[in-house]
Amino acid sequence: MNLPPHLTRIGAVGALLSTLLVGGTVSATTASAAVGSICHSALPSQADDTLRLIDQGGPFPYSQDGIVFSNREGVLPSQWSGYYHEYTVKTPGSSTRGARRIVTGEEQQEDYYTSDHYATFDLIDFDC
């Protein structure tokens, strides 16, 4: 299976390892204890649909897709305003957007998944 470029990038974990290997330091913006991880293969199939749309630049099914996610909950690593963007992961049988989202981080190109409307996040690991 050919994965879109978005699905093949190293993500935050790779960026963290690269930083450590070249003698850099790790800050709160690089790693967050409040964020778990999830294997890409464990995501619902609708998450792949959303990731493909992100790679293609849309069109997105909801007008809210692509808007700035402000991280008001403070669960994700602290970043500047506009760093994170959110996208809907469709929930079968739901008449609304549901609670599932992918939130992308701009600079380190990390992708987070939440199934509970921002209460918890998992960094998507594309290597498993």
- Per domain, the residue ranges of the chain are 5-125
Is pTM beyond 0.85 here? no
Catalytic residues: 86, 117
The per-residue pLDDT for range 27-84, each reduced to its tens digit, is 444 444 468 999 999 999 999 999 999 999 999 999 999 999 999 999 999 999 999 9
Residue 37 β-bridge partners: 123
Contact 69, 114 (CB under 8 A): no
**68-69/84-88 β-pairing:** antiparallel
Tokens of residue 126, six digits: 């594309």
Which H or E element spans position 49? helix 45-56
Sign of CA dihedral 12, 92, 65, 2: positive
User: CATH assignment of 5-125, given 2.60.40.1180, 3.10.450.30, 3.40.50.300, 3.40.605.10?
Assistant: 3.10.450.30
For 101-127, the pLDDT digits (tens) are 999 998 778 999 999 999 999 999 999
Helix (H) or strand (E) holding 42: none
